Structure 1
Amino acid sequence: MTTTPPRAGRPTATTRPDGPADADRLAALGYRQELRRSLGVLGNISMGFAVVSPVVGLYAVAQVGMGVAGGAWVWALPVCLLGQLLVVCVYSELASQWPLAGGAYQWSRRLAGPTFAWLTGWLWQFAVMFANTTVAYLAAPWFFALFGATPTPPQLVLTALGFMLCCTLVNAYGINLLRRFVALGIAAEAIASVLVGLALLLFFREHGLGLLTDTLGAPAATGTGTLMSFLAVVAVGGWAFIGFDACVSTAEETKDAARQVPRAMRWSLLGVGLVVILNAVAVPLAHPDPAAVVAGTDLDPVTTAVTAGFGDWSAKPFVVVVLVSFTACLMASQGGAARGLYSLARDGVFPFSAQVRKVNRHQAPIGGLVAATLVSCAALPLGLESTAIGSLIAFGTAATFLPFFLLTAVALVARLRGTWRPAGEVSYGRWGTALNALAVLWTGLEVVNICWPRALLAPPGAPWYQVWAAVLGTGVVTLAGLGYLLVRRPQRLMREPAEPAATVR
């Protein structure tokens, strides 16, 4: 089957969509409204903000960043933020024209055809599901920190499983309950990120700004040059700026989605990016001994900086707000994974599609939710080997940037061939092609950068397969997808994508 390229040109209709018009637009794209459309723009922004999560992002990369490049690691973050804003520009044009759940899969169908679309959707789904495994595992130690306990690896795995199941239960009750829990998480983010970061920077600073250009001898200690250390930090820092596509996952539950989803992606990424950079600057400046982080004797520089500034009394309250932030991130990301699976399954192109596409009485994608939870939980036993979680993070980052690259690349090819001209609420006109080309360059370089095998990002004495985790993990998922394509040929089941006669405004 070949896919007819979408018609170029701008829409002619000017009716602004409300609830019914959104359903009509969805019907024009070939689907009926099954999920509950109740999110406004703030609700959609909150989904993206919770998944990108400044607390989760900073905790995942701060210790590694400082250990590799000292105080100078913070300069990698603006590079990553600017690169991801280029991706958001491309995503905004696509989301405004085709506001559908499972964006990467749905957009690729219309830009490049069924085979490419299916593989892109497959890669994106597994990246998100394994990222959920990582978030659940990283949240588990904070539960034990509430009681001052030191958990064993099996206890961490069981606790992460408990987090996963609790988040599944909340998601099963639909988008409205999920939105309330995510709002609580964002309130915790505001305390743990904005207020604490400003307080550290303004009242508890221990060092001058010169620390932010000082590598503290980290490149020499790791046996790498300054440039290679910086590239390594850029590879790690990219993880702090993924997840904005969660706004796309809830497009079919957002009012006026063609207009609001692009706005939500932009504001969630910018908001999180600025907060991450604020805290990345504040933590080393308020840390009593940044050299200890470089030496590897302080594995939690954020908590050290907070307790050194506010006093020991702040440790438990800070643990609570961080734990709430991690939980909200997991809930929102798990909801996004479920909706992506639902989008694939309703076309009958995912394993066990009849079960995965089911929607419950709360209008939640319960089949996708169960499937996403099972896959994420299946990877949790990797946490029994405590050093393996680093490999999971490396794979998750590479697997996320690969769909970014594939989608921006196919969008650029479609532009250059003239088979796609943005015809939605968002269009950058003549600048769109240049922005798209820069997005392809950024994501392509970042895929190579993340997958480059680096011993300095692996635990000391790590086996070779942990050093090559990004390449191996991405390769295994890609080969599994290609095998399914060859054996089951799901691309043959894809219907010709419907296109509305005019994009409704």
Structure 2
Amino acid sequence: MTNPEPSAASDAADLAKFGYKEALERRTGRFASFAVAFAFVSIATGIFTTYGSVLNSSGPMGIWTWPIATIGQLAVAFVLGALAARIPVTGYHYQWMSRLANPILGWILGWISFTFLAIVVCAVDYTIASTIFPVLLHYEGTPTIAWLVTGAVLLLQALLVGFSTPWAERVNNTFVSLELIGMVSLTVLLLVVAAVRGEMDFSNLFSKGAIPAEGYWDFGDLTTAGPWMLGFLLGAFTIVGFESAANLAEETNDPERVVPRAMWQAVLASGVLGFLFILAVTLAAGDPIALAESGTPIADVIEKTLGSAVATLLLVMVVLAIFACGLVIMITGVRLTWAMSRDKRFPGWQQWSQISPKFHTPLKATVLYVVLAELILAIFSQSETALFTLFGAATLLPAVMYASTVVLYLIKRKSLPVSDKFNLGAWEIPVLAVAVVWLVFELSLFRDSSFKEAWAYVIVMVVIGACYLGYLLATRGKSGLTMPGMGSIDAELEAEAAKD
């Protein structure tokens, strides 16, 4: 017998424990929650964008880093899911850190999360304009054209997010379904056709390509990471954002149960399907050294093996997947802006905390978010290395967010109230160990000098945030940053401690 879906009144009562009244409509169900997490991860986007970089940094053998990254991110997803089940409130990392550590640290992590979401939407949408459209529509791309096209894509996503959450979810659900069907179909077709034609080259799976064998496995030094180690960036960039489902907690039915499962299921599905697809592409790649010189290696392999018509369909599918990914990123960024503004923690919060009575969305927060994204895009628009800089920052920031939150869970886990809808049980210690080891290793990769500009962006945004935090502390003091409903969770923690 399955448990009945809890009523809206029950979800509203749960939210009230954290000091908030229902302000958003609860429409998100199980598949929609999974689709949000899966769309943010978007294996079609990540693999299409970074597979060529792996060939150049690590050779085909770099793909074997993917399963390790999947296991590491799956462990992180379980930990974040355990927090999402206990604090089902819009604002995810900001809420978790604020309520379980302190509001100052919570604000810092919230700001870092915002800076990540502001730049990653540009990085993702920029791929459509700079890499895919020139090949699909047969024109010569320039930085100016890429800027204009990306700006138009951002605006279209903002219109969906700002004017209709139901329509945004319908578009996302449809595009995620097409991505799942398309990735499975392409993987099977590649393996079958390549096998029938005798074009499978198993030696590719263990080839270093043009990368010298000497020092290939080295960890690197203080300013460089070894060739194989850089291959981990394929999984580190792609398998992120799964916790975006938690940022729609106040729009999800039974979020304590639905959101954690959506998170780990999205990581598992992305990890397994993504690796099978990478294996199929690598087996059918032909000469990996020649392929590494291409700007669109995935499309080249598909066209060589399955023909130009299928390659065109691949590009269309990738465009849809990227659009869905950017759409979900924007939804997540807007909800975080709104959540911090609701607590009077965001610059200009008086405007961004409002919910449109007509559209039932944070419309003004959407306008702010898209204007900021367009500004970031304009700053990077004429840079020849814009895409790498954007992706570098978009890979670095989530690693910082995940590490901070996992450390928080590690410190607070014994005092957390037990959830009867999702908890790690006896697997808690092993899962935490895997998550910590993975995140320490991942963060160590960003010492590589190629991330210099990405670090510069992070530092600039942190300084801006620090200035505003200083203003908040000067005008309100620490007591003025207390979270709404803080007493409710403190009481639960104290009750659990008393039992022990």
Quick check: TM above 0.5?
Answer: yes
The offset of 1:403, in angstroms, is 0.8
Equivalent-residue separation in structure 2 for 1:135 and 1:120 (angstroms): 22
- Select 1:226's aligned residue among 213, 217, 227: 217
- The answer to whether structure 1 residue 353 and structure 2 residue 349 are counterparts is yes
Partner of 2:175: 185
Residue 438 of structure 1 aligns to a residue whose secondary structure is helix
8 Å contact kept, 1:96–1:261: yes
In structure 1, the gaps of 5 or more residues are 1-13, 456-466
SS of residue matched to 2:127: helix
- Could you tell me whether the CA contact under 8 Å between 2:285 and 2:291 is conserved in 1? no
- Find the aligned partners of 1:314 and 1:430 in 2 and give their Cα distance: 47
Answer yes or no: is 1:38 the counterpart of 2:27. Answer: yes
**CA 1:174–1:139: 2 relative to 1, 3 Å:** same
Partner of 1:208: 201
Match of 1:109 among 98, 102, 105: 98
Deviation readout 1:218-265 (Å, 9 max, x if unpaired): 245xx8523311211113430110010111111111101100000111
**Which whole-Å CA distance do the structure 1 matches of 2:369 and 2:440 have between them?**
27
Q: Which residue of 2 aligns with 1:6?
A: none
User: Is contact 1:93–1:422 with CA below 8 Å preserved after alignment?
Assistant: no
**1:251 maps to 2:221:** no
Q: CA deviation at 1:485?
A: 1.6
Residue in structure 2 matching 1:143, options 133, 136, 146: 133
Whether the 8 Å CA contact 1:154–1:384 is kept in 2: the answer is: yes
Report which stretch shifted further, 329-338 or 191-200: 191-200
For residues 57-100 of structure 1, what are the alpha-carbon distances to aligned partners after superposition, in whole Å with 9 as ceiling and x for unaligned?
Answer: 11122111122222211111011110001111111111111111
Match of 1:261 among 244, 252, 259: 259
What is aligned with 2:481?
Answer: 493
Structure 2 distance, partners of 1:406, 1:414, is: 12
**Change in 2 beyond 3 A, CA 1:280/1:247:** same
Q: Report if aligned partners of 1:288, 1:308 keep a CA contact under 8 Å in 2.
A: no
1:199 to 189, 194, 197: 189
Structure 1 residue 186 displacement after superposition? 1.3
Q: Is the contact between residue 106 and residue 117 of structure 1 (CA under 8 Å) also seen in structure 2? A: yes
What's the CA shift string for 1:373-419, capped at 9, x where partnerless?
A: 1221111120321212201111111111101000111111123xx43
Deviation of residue 498 (structure 1)? 4.6
Change over 3 Å in CA distance of 1:317–1:495 after alignment to 2 = closer
Q: Distance in 2 between matches of 1:367 and 1:419?
A: 38
- The yes-or-no answer on 1:480 pairing with 2:460 is no
1:21 to 4, 10, 22: 10
Q: 1:498 to 1:198 in 2, by over 3 A?
A: farther
Structure 2 CA distance, aligned partners of 1:498 and 1:192? 48
One of 71, 81, 88 as aligned partner of 2:77: 88
Identity of matched residues, %: 25
Paired position in structure 1 for 2:453: 469
The residue number in structure 2 matching 1:426 is 422
Deviation at 1:422, TM superposition (A): 4.0
Counterpart of 1:371 in structure 2: which amino acid?
L
Q: 2:16, 2:453 → 1: CA distance?
A: 42
- 1:61 partner amino acid: T
Q: 1:253 to 1:419 in 2, by over 3 A?
A: same
Please state how far the C-alpha of 1:277 moved relative to its aligned partner. Answer: 0.7
Residue in structure 2 matched with residue 464 of structure 1 by the alignment:
none
For 1:317, give the aligned amino acid: L
Q: Is the 8 A contact 1:306 1:314 kept in 2?
A: yes
Shift of residue 424, structure 1, vs aligned partner: 5.1
Q: Which amino acid aligns with 1:473?
A: Y
Using the alignment, how far apart are the partners of 2:84 and 2:152 within structure 1?
34
1:342 aligns with 2:333: no
Is there any run of 5+ residues in structure 2 with no aligned partner, and where? Answer: 219-225, 494-500
1:163 to 153, 156, 168: 153
Q: CA deviation at 1:109?
A: 1.4
CA distance in 1, matches of 2:308, 2:367: 41
Q: Distance in 2 between matches of 1:44 and 1:210?
A: 40
Contact 1:69 1:229 in 2 (8 A): yes
Distance 2:58 2:88 in 1: 41
Shift of 1:292: 1.0
- The question of 1:299 aligning with 2:291 is answered no
| Compared CA separation, residues 219 and 400, structure 1 to 2 (3 A) | farther
Partner residue of 1:77 out of 62, 66, 70: 66
The aligned counterpart of 1:365 is 362
CA separation of 1:153 and 1:420: change in aligned 2, threshold 3 A: same
Moved more, 476-485 or 300-309: 476-485
Alignment partner of 1:48 is 2:64: no
TM-score of the pair, normalised by structure 1:
0.89
CA distance in 2, matches of 1:328, 1:428: 31
User: What are the residue-to-residue correspondences of 1:418-457 with 2, within 5 Å?
Assistant: 418-423=414-419, 425-449=421-445, 451-455=446-450
| Residue 70 to residue 495, structure 1, CA distance change in 2 (3 Å) | closer
Q: TM-score, normalised by structure 2?
A: 0.89
Q: Within the alignment, does 1:316 sit opposite 2:312 as a pair?
A: yes
1:66 aligns with 2:51: no
> Structure 2: how far apart are the matches of 1:422 and 1:375?
39
Instruction: Quote how far apart the aligned CAs of 1:454 are.
Output: 3.9
Secondary structure of the structure 2 residue equivalent to 1:150: coil
- Measured in 1, the distance between the counterparts of 2:19 and 2:417 equals 20
Say which of 145, 154, 157 aligns to 2:144: 154
Shift of 1:189: 0.9
Measure how far apart 1:308 and its partner are.
Answer: 0.6
Alpha-carbon distance, 1:426 to partner: 1.5
- CA–CA distance in 2 between the matches of 1:145 and 1:225? 33
Aligned to 1:175: 165
Give how far 1:421 is off.
Answer: 4.7
Task: Give the deviation of 1:184 after TM superposition.
Answer: 2.2
Cα shift at 1:16: 6.5
Which deviates more, 378-387 or 107-116? 378-387
- Distance, in Å, in 2 between the alignment partners of 1:303 and 1:319 is 7
Q: Which residue of 1 aligns with 2:385?
A: 387
Superposition RMSD on alpha carbons, in Å?
2.1
